[in-house]
Amino acid sequence: MPAPVNHAPRLPARPTLADAIRQRYDADEAAAVSLHGTVANVPAGSEIIAMNAEPKYVISIRDGLAIRHRENSDGSRHILGFLLPGDICNPNPFPRAPADHVVAAVTPVVVERILISHLQILFLQGGAGQVVLWEAAERECAGLRDRVGMLERRDARVRVIEVLGDLVARIVAYKGTGGAIRLPLTQSHLADAAGLTHVHVNRILRGLRDLGLVATQRGSVVVRDAETFLALARANAHAGPHESA
């Protein structure tokens, strides 16, 4: 019997950004923290943060899948990263410049928004809550460093495995279980994230499908067994620049 499929847009509820910040304070301090977020629904394909925007809010993903992307000089899209529930779109509450990339919804997305001005006041008063955004910013930086290394040193098959493996690892960490996981990604998303052509990604997915590792459905890729796929991703991470497991 095939393993049940876990839908990426329906992950277990994460603490709201406001609650995550309050949790960094002790009970007496938390009671004094006045911080409230508003919830908004974003349709699939719509922008959450536009290029050159000057956001009034720090925005976090509550449900669904989003991407960071830039448009290349030839009009093609370069996906910089994927945002899952609990991820923060713009963790810097003291931005010095407009947004230099777009954050957009892949699936219908629910976001939480907290006024930047409220966070600025809170953080200027000091306290442990600001660590939540610092940690989010550092995770983003670490992810971008990994992505640069992937694009520079890895062959095409390993790139695709690393993109899928990163998403699977994060979903497993959120859920605490593995099994089969459906990722609401098209081959276009994978190509734009791995820096490959759609034809190349299609060929790689066929090979992974022949090995029983993935299945492709309209608008999604199903990783048949998370632990098996993550073992492959880990093996590839330790391979040489142009080797794959």
Per-residue pLDDT reduced to its tens digit, 133-187:
778 877 777 777 776 666 665 789 999 999 999 999 988 887 777 789 999 999 9
**pLDDT of 211 above 80:** yes
pTM recorded for the entire structure: 0.83
Those residues whose C-beta lies under 8 Å from the C-beta of residue 132, and which sit 6 or more positions away, are 17, 20, 21, 24
Residue pLDDT, tens place only, 70-101 = 998 888 899 999 999 889 999 888 887 899 99
* Every domain of the chain and the residues it spans: 10-149, 154-237
At 24, the pLDDT band (50, 70, 90 cuts) reads: confident
3-state SS assignment for residue 4: coil
Of 212, 173, 213, 167, the C-alpha closest to 190 is 167
Of 40, 190, 58, 37, the C-alpha closest to 108 is 40
Query: What's the pLDDT at 205?
Result: 96
**Tokens encoding 156:** 């095409």
Of 174, 170, 167, 213, the C-alpha closest to 3 is 213
Mode of pairing for the β-strands spanning 5-7 and 38-42: unpaired
Query: What's the pLDDT at 204?
Result: 96
When the pLDDT of each residue in the chain is averaged and rounded to a whole number, the result is: 83
The class that CATH gives domain 154-237 is mainly alpha
Phi, psi angles (nearest 5°) of residue 178: -105, -120
**CATH, domain 10-149, list 2.60.40.10, 1.10.357.10, 1.20.20.10, 2.60.120.10:** 2.60.120.10
Cα–Cα distance measured from residue 229 to residue 234, given in angstroms and rounded to the nearest whole number: 9
Residue pLDDT, tens place only, 46-57 = 999 999 999 899
